[in-house]
Amino acid sequence: MAGPPIAPGAVIDGFTIGEQVHAGGMATLWTATCPGIDVPLLIKVPRISEGEDPAAIVSFEMEQMILPRLSGPHVPQCFGSGDFARQAYVAMERIPGKTLYHRLDDLPLPYEEARVLGVRIAAALADLHRQNVIHHDLKPSSVMFRDTDKAVLIDFGLSHHNHLPDLLQEEFRLPYGTAPYMAPERLLGVRDDPRSDIFSLGVLLYFFTTGERPFGETETLRGMRRRLWRDPHPPRKLRADYPPWLQEIVLHCLEIEPAWRYPTAAQLAFDLGNPDQVKLTGRAERLKRDPLTTVWRRRFNRGVAIPRAKSDVAAQLAASPIVMVALDFTDDSQSLTDAMRVIAEQVLATLPSARLACVNVLKLGRVTIDRTLDEEGKNKHIERMIALQHWAQPLKLDEGRLTVHVLEAIDPASAILEFAVVNQVDRIVIGARQNSFMRSLLGSVSSKVAGEAPCTVTVVRPPRVAAGK
C-alpha cells in the first residue's frame, strides 16, 4: 500500500526530500540529498491518487525498469528506486540548467546553431539505441545539456527496452506520446523501431529551423493519422534561404516509411556533423508536398498496416555501421591500398546499409611552414580528395553511402582517432607496412589506432611476395 504524500523533510530510504521543482501530468519532481552521494539529486514520484491517469503508473514502472540499466553521459545517473508497496520513486542525478524547451521563444534558430544541437541530440540517441532503448518521447522538454555540451535525454516512462516487457504496449491500445513529435508507425502499434526516434528528431529540427511544426499542433488521433499518408511542406517553402543540405537531412528524417529514413541515429549525426558531404537528392530542392495521387495511394495502401515481425534494435544497428578506411598515399603503397579495398568490399557486401568514410591525413610539420601546393603547383587537399574518390570508385557505392575526408594534423594517428570518436565510427580499416625505419623508431600509426580506438579495428598488411619474384 502506498505511503503518505511526499513532503519536504521526509526521508525515504536515506534520501531527504527537499523542495518540489516540477509537477507534471504523470509525476512530480523533488530535490533531495543523501549521505555519501555528492551530486545534486532529484526524486521522481508518480501521481497515483484517485482520478489520476492509470498510464502514469505503467509509465513509471517502465522508467523504474529502464533507467537503472542505462549508463553514460547522455542519461541521468540512477541512484535508487522504491516500489508501489511502500513508496514508488526513482532517485536520479539532477542535471543543472534548463531543458531545450526554454528556447522556444527564440525560434527559428540560426541554421548553424540548430545543426550543432542536432548533432548532439543524434549522438545521444545513438548511444541510447546501442543500449537497446528507444526513447519514444523525444521533444524539447526531454533534452538537456551538460557543461561539456553533451546532450542528456530524460523521461523514459514511454520508452521501449528490447530486452524487457513493454508494459505500455501490453496494457494500452492507444499510442502514448507527444502528438506533434510522434512517428507514423507508432499509430500502428509499432514500438520496437529505433527509427521512430529519428522521425521525432526530424520534427524537432524542422520546428527549430522554421518556427513551425511540420504536422501542426493537432492532438486528436484522427489528426495524427494523416501523417501516415501526408508529408509536410518542405522547409524551403517556409524559408527561402533554407540550406539544401539541411532540407535533405530533415526530410530524410521525416519520411513516412521507416525504411526510407536514416537507418541509425549515428548516420544522421554523421551528416549533421559533415554538412559539406551530404549527398543531395530531389528532397533538397523540393518546394511542394507530394502530389495528391501519391497521397491517395498511400492512404488506401492497406499493406502498411500488415503486422510485422518483431524488430531487434541491436541487429538493426549492427547492419548499418559507419566504416572508416584510413588511407595513406604518400609512399608507393599500391598493393596495400588494393588489399584494403578488398577488405572494405567484403565488409560492405554483407551490410547494404553501411556508410563508408574514406579518410586521408595530410601530415603537417611541427616547426616548418606547410605549403598548400605540391611541387607541380597543385592543391594538396584537392589532390588527396580526388585520390580517395578514385580509390573508392571500384566499390561502386551509391553516392549516399560514400564520403571522403582529408584531415590536416601533425599526428596522423590522433587525427584518425578523433575522427572516429566524433563521427561514431563502428569499424576502422587501416593499413600497416611490413618494414619501415620510422615505424620501428617511432611506432606505427596503425598500432596506435588499434590500441586506442573505441571501435573494431582491422589492420591490413600488404600481400607477401613469393620468393624469387
Domain boundaries, the chain: 11-93, 100-302+312-317, 321-460
Q: What average pLDDT does the segment 100-116 reach?
A: 97
The pLDDT score that the predictor gives to residue 48 is 73
CA 455, 311, 189, 291 torsion-angle sign = positive
Please enumerate in sequence order all residues whose Cβ is within 8 A of that of 407, keeping only pairs 6 or more positions apart, or say none: 359, 360, 361, 362, 415, 416, 419
Read off the pLDDT of each residue in 208-229 and give the average, rounded to a whole number.
Answer: 88
Cα radius of gyration (the chain): 25
User: How far apart are the C-alpha atoms of 353 and 367, rounded to whole Å?
Assistant: 43
Amino acid occupying residue 77: Q
Sign of CA dihedral 67, 71, 74, 77: positive
Is it the case that residue 261 has pLDDT exceeding 90?
yes
Residue 467 above 60 pLDDT? no
**DSSP string for 3-65:** -SPP-TT-EETTEEEEEEEEE-SSEEEEEEEETTEEEEEEEEEE--STTS-HHHHHHHHHHHH
What integer pLDDT is reported at residue 341 of this predicted model? 94
What does pTM read for this prediction? 0.90
The SS3 call for residue 229 is coil
**Residue 202: how many CB atoms within 10 A of its CB?**
25
Question: Could you report how far apart the first and last alpha carbons of the chain are, in Å?
Answer: 84
pLDDT at 305: 46
Would you state the cell numbers that stand for residue 42, as one nine-digit string? 532529484
- Asked if pLDDT for residue 173 goes beyond 80, the answer is no
Range of weakest confidence among 49-63, 298-312, 369-383, 447-461:
298-312
Residue 282 CB coordination number (10 Å): 8
Q: What is the mean pLDDT of residues 356-383?
A: 73
Nine cell digits for residue 184:
507514423
For residue 441, the model assigns a pLDDT of 42
Per-residue pLDDT, 442: 43
The CATH fold of domain 321-460:
Rossmann fold (3.40.50)
Alpha-carbon distance of 44 to 29, in angstroms, equals 5
Q: Which residues have a Cβ under 8 Å from the Cβ of 223 and sit 6 or more positions away?
A: 179, 216
Q: Work out the average pLDDT over 351-362.
A: 92
The answer to whether 11-93 and 321-460 have equal CATH topology is no
- Whether the pLDDT of residue 284 is over 90: the answer is yes
CATH topology of domain 100-302+312-317: Transferase(Phosphotransferase); domain 1 (1.10.510)
Distance CA 132, CA 163 (A): 7
Grid coordinates given for 19: 523542495
Report how far residue 72's alpha carbon sits from residue 409's, in angstroms, rounded to the nearest whole number.
29
Residue with the larger pLDDT of the pair 210 and 1: 210
| Mean pLDDT across 213-218 | 85
pLDDT band at 369 (very low <50, low <70, confident <90, very high): very low
Please report how many Cα atoms fall inside a 13 Å half-sphere around the Cα of residue 303, on the Cβ side: 4
- Grouping H, G, I as helix, E, B as strand and the rest as coil, residue 278 is coil
- Phi, psi (rounded to 5 degrees) for 267: -70, -35
Predicted confidence (pLDDT) at residue 382 exceeds the cutoff of 60: yes
How much is the mean pLDDT over the chain?
A: 88
pLDDT reading at 347 higher than 80: yes
Q: Which CATH number fits domain 11-93: 3.20.20.140, 3.40.50.620, 3.30.200.20, 3.20.20.150?
A: 3.30.200.20
- Amino acid type, 393: Q
